A and B are shown apart, each in its own frame.
Chain A
Amino acid sequence: MTAVTTLIASYGVTLTVVAILVPQFYTPGNFQVVVTASAIIGVISVGQTLVVIAGAFDLSVGGVAPLAAIVFAKLANNGMSVSEAILVTVLIGLAVGVGNGYVVSVLSVNPLITTLATLSICGGAAYALSGGLTVTLTHPSDGVLGEFAIAQLPYFVLIFITIAVAAGLVLRFTVPGRWIHATGGSEEAARIAGIPTRATVIAVYAACAALAALAGLFATSELFAGTATIQNDSSLTSVTAVVLGGAELTGGTGSVTGTILAVLLLSSISNTLAIGQVGTFYTQIITGAILLMVVLASRLASRFGTRP
């Protein structure tokens, strides 16, 4: 819980500083911008949270999301119905995830290498399919997920909230949730205790890639077009959010609540910098600095606070 309280505190401080320096941040329109952006990277980060708690990580999300964006746009433009196109796209994500999970858990290949490879493959496939061009949706109804549901928030924000709540509940209150925690905490001990650790790892990778595909869909619906650059930086952003949210990359720890707070914090900061016309390039620098500070702070806390 300490990670979450720290985050709430730092988020509070950030919002206060922002209120003084960039009061334009507090307009209803901007609120929707922040929430919408958060929902897209948030849905990826929720998936990443599952994988990190299970003791691995997934860099392929930055390839799966743009691939999904292009595939969805192409399918929809070729006359497939929206629901079918969504289904096919998510299934492609699922398949990539199952592949990642199989290679990592059954073939025991390092997660970094495995997902770096699929990041490259999927990201490359997105460029190949689109020819590097933007694929604009041709039928107005294909952007249905991006239409406003309530309070000028698109439908996909509601989907994101539903997924986040569901993931949080699964992690905390279900048997599979405990399997995920146990597998990440000590895979060998979990396996000897009879937990299906391989299936667990495959499942979290599948969920993560499917959610990344969903994020690609969200962004395409939002922009009304798919490009091969959609969320292609989400690999690192999502891992950053999960770690800021209190997870350790050694597995077994982390929470959806923490991740989402971290996503909101990161989105707010980058939004503020954009409004304040500081320039988007600085966003990356500041994000990196925050990550380093938080990790150092928790490192110091564990060094002086608890028993080694």
Chain B
Amino acid sequence: MNAADISTTGSTRLAAHGLSKSYGATRALKNVDFRLGRGEVVALVGENGAGKSTLARILAGAVMPDEGRMFADGSPVRFRSPREALKRGIAFIPQELSYPPDFTTAENLVLGNWPSRHGLVTRARIRAAAAGIAAEHGLFLELERKMGTCRAADLQTAEILKALGRDASILILDEPTSALDREDSERLLRDLRLLANRGVSIVFISHRFDEVASFSDRICGFRDGELVEDIATADYQRSDLISRFATHSRRHRTDTSEAGSQKQPVLRLARWRSGGRTPLRDVSLEVQRGEVLGLYGQRGSGAEVLAEGLAGLTRPVSGWVMVDGKPRPPFRSSREASAAGIAYVPADRGRQGIVPTLSLHENLTLMKPSGHIVLRRSAERAFVDQQIKSWRIRCRNPDQRVSELSGGNQQKVLVASRLIAAPRILVLSEPTRGVDLPSRQQIHSNLRQLATAGTAVVVATTDVGEAANLPDRVVVLRDGQVMGELLGSHVSHAAILELSGGRR
């Protein structure tokens, strides 16, 4: 390596000059320069579709650039596959991890890299090799657990260790924390920092400002395929960061008395108990017309199960529901729930929410196509146009395949699609997970408007920021039980965390 390549913050591991990439007519990346030093942690931020993912994929060899040159440890490289990048010590950890669910974490760590002697692989040898990798890098992982039963945070750790076990020293992570709650996110990011201190270079994509501000050395901001910011994190104030993206000021919250003045709850559920992995224990709730109710809880707290129960997807073992004052047993199907005026937005957009092969138009009208047998597209078009406008869905035209839209816009389509039946109660699970900030704000503001118009909006979330900002009232859950309730001006970040018993 040339001595001139070594800069002030440690030697340059990876450098790129003039990277460009187009997909058809879309220019995903325009003439971007990038540099990554040894032991450096760089955060890539920006809206969905701004180019950060494309850069990450190019660096990791998953996508080939149209133009530009790359250097690894000073020598020119041209990766045609992630495999070639891995030979240079660069590993990519995608947002959606894929793994064999029946393998143990230890087996997954050595997957395709079996520790063998005379061609024999034994369970003990696998375990020893995996334990060695974990110990070498100072990370903790339960080695006997099946991948399919791991928590999201452990899956990330397993993927990271797998990469390190293959001698990767540059990690590129696409939204590693999007599926994690706050505590797990911090644990993961602390682990990443430890690795960085040992000389591993890290690039990660994130939508969360607090973690970007506290865990990165440098921030690269993208807009419309261009690198518009490249600045040391120390020079950045968190407020600066938010103000670059956040255009709306925080709304005034409905006051306690106002929210409490509604007498008749539109929905009550009482004494819900369920079995399963995250059981509910005696949960009772009331939902008022025109309010945004938050159900906050970390993963496994029961908040998502409760939302699914309201949607008729997970049936509680016992308990009852009262719709407009009439008691009945819990919903047994999504059809029963929708007959009661409930619409549900599932957390897993890709698998349970949108239908990727259908158009924007078809997704928006999925729940209630016009006409009994023959479709009346022109009648549907009015609703479609109205939703595109009011949610500011960015698309070429309504007949575009929904999978071509960015994640934030897909999420808007998903939420908007539930409004066609004019539900009286809209239940959403993680409505803005992995969504860029402008889309998140748009979704939040539209949900507020829906509530103002009289719809009861129930938001189950593991995101404290969302629980603290969006709802009028927050019910905090933990271990399947209601820990407490916060109303109006009492709703705050700190109060929610305190109730959930997590920290402080």
* Chain A residues near B (Cβ < 8 Å): 173-178, 181-182, 184-186, 188-195, 251-253, 305-308
Contact = CB atoms under 8 A, between A and B. Distances in A.
B338 A185 contact: no
Contacts of B354: 186, 189
B369 interface: yes
Contacts of A184: 357
B351 interface: yes
B313 interface: yes
B362 A182 contact: yes
Contact of B375 (A178, A182, A188, A190): A178
17 contacts: A173-B375, A174-B375, A175-B374, A177-B375, A178-B358, A178-B362, A182-B366, A186-B352, A188-B351, A189-B352, A192-B352, A192-B353, A194-B367, A306-B24, A307-B24, A307-B28, A308-B63
B344 interface: yes
The 4 A-B pairs with the shortest beta carbon distances in the complex, nearest first, are A252-B357, A185-B357, A185-B355, A307-B23
A307 B25 CA distance: 11
A190 B311 contact: no
Contact of A195 (B24, B311, B366): B366
Contacts of B374: 173-175
Task: Please classify the interface of chain A as helix (H, G, I), strand (E, B), loop, or mixed, using the class held by over half of its residues.
Answer: helix
A79 B375 CA distance: 45
Contact of B358 (A188, A252, A307, A308): A252
B112 interface: no
B20 to A, nearest CB: 15
A192 B311 contact: yes
Interface string B391-409: 0000000000000100000
A194 B342 CA distance: 11
Contacts of B338: 194
B367 A185 contact: no
A176 B373 CA distance: 7
Interface string B285-311: 000000000000000000000000001
Given A186-B355, A192-B313, A178 B334 contact: no
A186 B311 CA distance: 18
A307 B313 CA distance: 33
B251 interface: no
Task: Please classify the interface of chain B as helix (H, G, I), strand (E, B), loop, or mixed, using the class held by over half of its residues.
Answer: loop
Interface residues of B, number: 31
B366 A193 contact: yes
Nearest to B28: A307
B26 interface: yes
Given A173-B374, A189-B351, A189-B353, A305 B24 contact: yes
A48 B114 CA distance: 43
Given A190-B355, A194-B338, A307 B373 contact: no
Contacts of A307: 23-24, 26, 28, 404
Nearest to A190: B355
B371 interface: yes
B115 interface: no
A305 B366 CA distance: 28
Nearest to A251: B357
B118 interface: no
B357 A181 contact: yes
A189 B367 contact: no
Contacts of A182: 355, 358, 362, 366
Contact of A191 (B334, B356, B375): B334
B372 interface: yes
A251 B356 CA distance: 11
Interface in B328-367: 334-335, 338, 344, 346, 351-358, 362, 366-367
A253 B26 contact: no
B375 A186 contact: no
Interface string B17-37: 000000110101000000000
A225 B266 CA distance: 68
Interface in B174-229: none
A61 B23 CA distance: 41
Contact of A175 (B23, B356, B373): B373
B140 to A, nearest CB: 34
B335 A185 contact: no
B156 interface: no
A191 B311 CA distance: 12
Contacts of B23: 306-307
Contacts of A251: 357
B462 interface: no
B142 to A, nearest CB: 29
The CB with the most chain B CB atoms within 10 A, among A189, A190, A191, A305, is that of: A189
Nearest to B358: A185
Contacts of A189: 346, 351-355
Given A181-B362, A185-B355, A307-B24, 9 more contacts: A173-B374, A174-B375, A177-B375, A182-B355, A182-B366, A186-B354, A188-B352, A192-B352, A305-B24
The CB with the most chain A CB atoms within 10 A, among B26, B311, B355, B404, is that of: B355
Contacts of A177: 375
Interface string B436-477: 000000000000000000000000000000000000000000
Contacts of A173: 374-375
Given A182-B362, A192-B311, A192-B313, A252 B355 contact: yes
Nearest to A248: B357
Contacts of A175: 369, 371-375
Interface in B103-130: none
Contacts of A181: 355, 357-358, 362
Nearest to B404: A307
Contacts of B344: 192
B22 to A, nearest CB: 10
B329 to A, nearest CB: 20
B417 interface: yes
A186 B373 contact: no
A271 B302 CA distance: 64
Interface string B38-55: 000000000000000000
A193 B352 CA distance: 9
B25 to A, nearest CB: 11
A262 B351 CA distance: 32
B357 A253 contact: yes
B351 A194 contact: no
A190 B26 contact: no
A192 B313 CA distance: 8
Contacts of B375: 173-175, 177-178
A250 to B, nearest CB: 8
A197 B26 CA distance: 36
A194 B417 CA distance: 12
Contacts of B24: 305-307
